[in-house]
Amino acid sequence: MARETFPFTSSTLRSLRLQQEWLEWEDRRRAAAQQCRSRRCPSSPRARLTRPHRSCRDPAVHHALFSGNLQQVQALFQDEEAANMIVETVSNQLAWSAEQGFWVLTPKTKQTAPLAIATARGYTDCARHLIRQGAELDARVGGRAALHEACARAQFDCVRLLLTFGAKANVLTEEGTTPLHLCTIPESLQCAKLLLEAGATVNLAAGESQETPLHVAAARGLEQHVALYLEHGADVGLRTSQGETALNAACAGAEGPGSCRRHQAAARRLLEAGADARAAGRKRHTPLHNACANGCGGLAELLLRYGARAEVPNGAGHTPMDCALQAVQDAPNWEPEVLFAALLDYGAQPVRPEMLKHCANFPRALEVLLNAYPCVPSCETWVEAVLPELWKEHEAFYSSALCMVNQPRQLQHLARLAVRARLGSRCRQGATRLPLPPLLRDYLLLRVEGCIQ
């Protein structure tokens, strides 16, 4: 009966489609066998055709796999065909409907393999049963193999099981990433070690992005992963398709005080291994630009110690100081005075007076910037930006700044600027080497005092 004359249900249509695929496979198999017999040659592996995998949406199968019920898995998966079935799940996701003009719940079908489900959730016994029943270790149902899923979830025991049974350590996803690329959380360190011991290629670049595992680990601030990859020969000079090195990735990924500390440790590992602190990526953005844009004073100082240049502009003409000023507005919960002092100590020029308004509500940072001038510039560009409650809280500082506008500074301050100008970009190192008392050394390095004199 034609489909147009009878209202087939979706399940019936699905069964018919699977039956048609099966019949087509049988026809191809018989044709190949007949051709081989006609040539009077034995069957070869190339002549064998792969049987199409069946799809399944049975809730009982889903429950057994996702809950890790070993008895049910053993009962349901008793042969190679069952172990290699395609498991389909349907979930409703919000999607924008241009026709209706609002967000609607849209069903999305996802395909995966039983072995991928078991290994992603750490069900080692279930995974072992599926493998013994003939589950394909490197099958990429839905774009990923079981080893990818196990590494992404840091399932150490399952990773070891798969590698023991012969899973390929460099198996690629459809996007061209390896399991090593998916070791993206601290708990996945042991998985990365297993992969490298099994022959994973540490410098293998991923698909279009050309990211290496070192780029991935650096971008997430995974210091131990970075150290591991460097021990296995990771190249710190490799670049992504956007021209970014692993050091660029580490500095770009540092967001927030806690994240800055992690990424600073990863960046230190890279710099000690020979990473270039001046290497500019896309749009001539250097690691220092990225660190300043994220407000990471400690990371910026580390880069400056390893040769990063504080006065170099990026493709848009912005210096690291410009990026730091923007970060004050974007991430206010940090100590910008640390970053400003580091940049000035390594040769950055004082900011343009009109830019002082960006840090008007950060008195400690404003003090550092004002002390980089031989004379306090006009306050008209920033005084109106100060919040009234903040002015009241720090009235002593703001009043001292107002009183010194266009007034001669103390001889002590002018001498400080003269010494700093003489030392130039070596001010931070020079101050620590000069035989100065600690208080005088701190004063030379723009110590915050709470007033302008």
Query: What's the residue count for the chain?
Result: 453
| pLDDT score for 32 | 59
| pLDDT score for 1 | 41
Q: How far apart are CA 114 and CA 121, in angstroms?
A: 11
| pLDDT score for 45 | 39
CATH number of this structure's domain 211-349: 1.25.40.20
**173 near 143, Cβ under 8 Å?**
yes
Q: How far apart are CA 180 and CA 148, in angstroms?
A: 8
The answer for 188, left when phi > 0, alpha when psi is -120 to 50, beta otherwise, is: alpha
Q: Could you state, in order of their start, the residue ranges of all structural domains in the chain?
A: 56-201, 211-349, 359-453
Fold of the CATH domain 56-201? 1.25.40
Largest Cα span, the chain: 105
| pLDDT score for 89 | 81
Between strands 55-56 and 86-97, the pairing is parallel
pTM recorded for the entire structure: 0.83
**Other beta carbons within 10 Å of 208:** 10
**162 near 135, Cβ under 8 Å?**
no
| pLDDT score for 419 | 95
Question: What are the CA-CA distances from residue 183 to residues 190, 224, 239, 240 (Å)?
Answer: 9, 12, 19, 18
| pLDDT score for 19 | 55
pLDDT digits (tens), the chain, 453 positions:
444 444 545 555 555 555 565 556 556 655 655 554 454 444 433 333 444 567 788 889 999 999 999 999 999 999 999 999 999 887 766 777 677 677 777 777 889 999 999 999 999 999 999 999 999 999 999 999 999 999 999 999 999 999 999 999 999 999 999 999 999 999 999 999 999 999 999 999 998 999 999 999 999 999 999 999 999 999 999 999 999 999 999 999 998 666 889 999 999 999 999 999 999 988 899 999 999 999 999 999 999 999 999 999 999 999 999 999 988 877 656 789 999 999 999 999 999 999 999 999 999 999 999 999 999 988 887 898 999 999 999 999 999 999 999 899 999 999 999 999 999 999 999 998 989 999 999 999 999 999 998
Cα angle 371, 373, 378; round to 5: 100
Domains 56-201 and 211-349 share a fold: yes
